[in-house]
Structure 1
Amino acid sequence: MEYADLRVLEIVARHGSMNRAAAELHTVQSNVTARIRALEEQVGTALFERSRRGVVLTAAGQRLLPYAARLAALLREAREAACDDGTPRGTLRVGSLETSAALRLPPLLSAYAQAYPEVGLLVTTGTSGSLVADVLEQRLDGAFVSGPVQHADLIEEAVFREELMLITAPGLRHMDALDGQRELKIIVFRRGCSYRQRLENILAQRGIQTAQPLEFGSLEAILGCVAAGVGVTLLPKPVAMPFWRDGRVAAHELPPEQARVDTVFIRRRATRLTSTLAAFLAIARPAPLKLAAGS
């Protein structure tokens, strides 16, 4: 079994079609079909179920597929190691929470781009859950997520601290007005958002029952719904302050044990620390730890 065989497996699985996979590989369909059949003979079991509408992975194919991504990442790491002479260059793939990307990352990315112009920066936003998965599967070199993560395969270090606030419609003067409510709507980022469970716990401690959350992919949508009185959310103070100063929302302070949370940078423990990533971490690390925006 060779990496080239697993790459064909991944492309066929992604397209669900031998013909479309052949187009991506710049070959004919018969060659792709032959490679897959040869691979199936090597492993001793069928890897795809065939039908008129295309192909789908069997259970065995699904178990084999992740090795294609792992080998691709290992080969990429080997090439980078061979070329790494201590000067940051190449591509750096970084993940970030939506709020961190809006408030914390711009000056950091600007400083890094100016210091290391030979590095191409690719930034992906997502929830803590999705970003952790992306780092573990080596789709990202590292990511800013809400901590602590405490995963055996990851190295994490705190880079800045957030102060969270409960954000409500502007007419709500005090959090006590929410106490005892039933079916209160919470407005959060999609599933995997680190603040979702934290917000539910804060409200539960006040005897507030929540309804099915509303999920959005942008800060503007979340704050717009809160301003309209649809529900409440939990966000870092600097995110909410412009909306609070304009009178569009009300921002309520929380006890320190509920308000403070660290944003950490995570990377894979087993992956070599490249000069490119080391230089990025040197700029991102605070000295000393201080309050800043993010999540």
Structure 2
Amino acid sequence: MADLKVFEAVSRLGSMNRAARELNTVQSNVTARIRSLEEDLGVSLFQRHARGVSTTPAGQRILPFVGRIARLLTDARTAAHDEGVPSGLLHFGSQETTAALRLSGLLSRFATAYPAVRLAVATGTTRKLLDDVIACRLEGAFVAGPVNHPELRQEAVFREELVLATSPAIGSLDELAGIPELKTIVFQIGCSYRQRLEALLADRGVVTARPLEFGSLEAIISCVSAGVGVTLLPRGILADAFSQGRIAVHEVPPERAEVDTLFVRRADGYVSSAMSAFLDMVHASRA
């Protein structure tokens, strides 16, 4: 298993040196483990070049199994020690918007109710979170629907209303068509809200410039408030900025506005007592 962990790090980082730093070891140890794994499998896993290494086609084919093997071992250890009392590590992911709007109070209550559980929450775009769940890097994640993947189990947990946010100077959606090369303020590619915004503006014939990408909600809202561009976010996220007069919000057609937040996890994954208790609390919060 240690050899596979080293293989995944080298493949992801494209460098023996960077993998060694991440794994807190020396490069010679990384090189030796990769050589041992290649000998066991009877194939070359990396092509060496001046900038580092590239994963060979054979390496690419076995890469998906690494996360699954690691997850199976983790599930086995968890199941062996799971006596029905929530404890241990609970590692899941969430969109930035869901974390800000729905999870802060929930996580606080869960931590108080189950102090033996160590919570670890990763944030990212829907696409990144789905990849991490499929690859077994996360036990589950809150993502924007719809999702259709044969290896995932999903359930709708929240429903959000998306609204278009602009500077207070813009009085209606009709004014957007008159702005040359309107800028959109968005998260990175893979954010489902970004895709909905692009579709909404295209429907209205609005010509947009290259999107401006930011990694935080506050940065996006601040840029919108300053008149740099527009964004599409859940109404609840924008409530404070709207009440302070920093932004204007505009309703959009229902087919663009309504979005389900799903909790997804691998269909073949072990559901620990900690995960079960957490999901019970999520369901109770909706009542």
Query: Residues 46 and 56 of structure 2 are in contact (CA less than 8 Å); yes or no, is this contact kept in structure 1?
Result: yes
Out of 61, 65, 68, the residue aligned to residue 67 of structure 1 is 65
How far did 1:287 drift? 7.1
SS in 1 for 2:174: helix
Read off the aligned partner of 1:210 and give its amino acid letter. Answer: T
Read off the aligned partner of 1:9 and give its amino acid letter. Answer: F
Match of 1:16 in 2: 15
Match of 1:49 in 2: 47
SS in 2 for 1:285: helix
Match of 1:262 in 2: 260
Query: Residues 126 and 191 of structure 2 are in contact (CA less than 8 Å); yes or no, is this contact kept in structure 1?
Result: yes
Out of 147, 150, 161, the residue aligned to residue 148 of structure 2 is 150
- The two structures have a TM-score, normalised by structure 2, of 0.89
* Distance across 2 between alignment mates of 1:219 and 1:28: 39
Read off the aligned partner of 1:268 and give its amino acid letter. Answer: R
Match of 1:292 in 2: none
Out of 125, 131, 134, the residue aligned to residue 133 of structure 1 is 131
SS in 2 for 1:179: helix
Out of 243, 251, 276, the residue aligned to residue 245 of structure 1 is 243
SS in 2 for 1:178: helix
How far did 1:41 drift? 3.1
CA RMSD of aligned residues (A): 2.6
Read off the aligned partner of 1:125 and give its amino acid letter. Answer: T
Match of 2:35 in 1: 37
How far did 1:140 drift? 0.9
Query: Residues 18 and 33 of structure 1 are in contact (CA less than 8 Å); yes or no, is this contact kept in structure 2?
Result: no
Could you report, residue by residue, the CA deviation over 1:31-75 in whole angstroms, capped at 9, with x for unpaired residues?
655544343233232223345765443332233333333212111
- The two structures have a TM-score, normalised by structure 1, of 0.87
SS in 2 for 1:231: coil
How far did 1:184 drift? 1.6
Read off the aligned partner of 2:253 and give its amino acid letter. Answer: P
How far did 1:247 drift? 1.4
Could you report, residue by residue, the CA deviation over 1:85-144 in whole angstroms, capped at 9, with x for unpaired residues?
111100001211111111210111011111111000001111111111111111111111
Match of 2:83 in 1: 85
Question: Following superposition of structure 1 onto structure 2, how do residues 102-117 of structure 1 map, counting pairs within 5 Å?
Answer: 102-117=100-115
* Distance across 2 between alignment mates of 1:181 and 1:23: 47
Match of 1:293 in 2: none
**Unmatched segments (≥5 aa) in structure 1:** 290-295
**Unmatched segments (≥5 aa) in structure 2:** none
Which is greater in Rg? 1
Query: Residues 155 and 268 of structure 1 are in contact (CA less than 8 Å); yes or no, is this contact kept in structure 2?
Result: yes
Match of 1:219 in 2: 217
Match of 2:174 in 1: 176
95-104 vs 6-15, greater mean Cα deviation? 6-15
Matched residues, number = 286
* Distance across 2 between alignment mates of 1:8 and 1:251: 48
Percentage of identical aligned residues: 54
Could you report, residue by residue, the CA deviation over 1:168-221 in whole angstroms, capped at 9, with x for unpaired residues?
111111112123655221111111011111111111222212221111101111
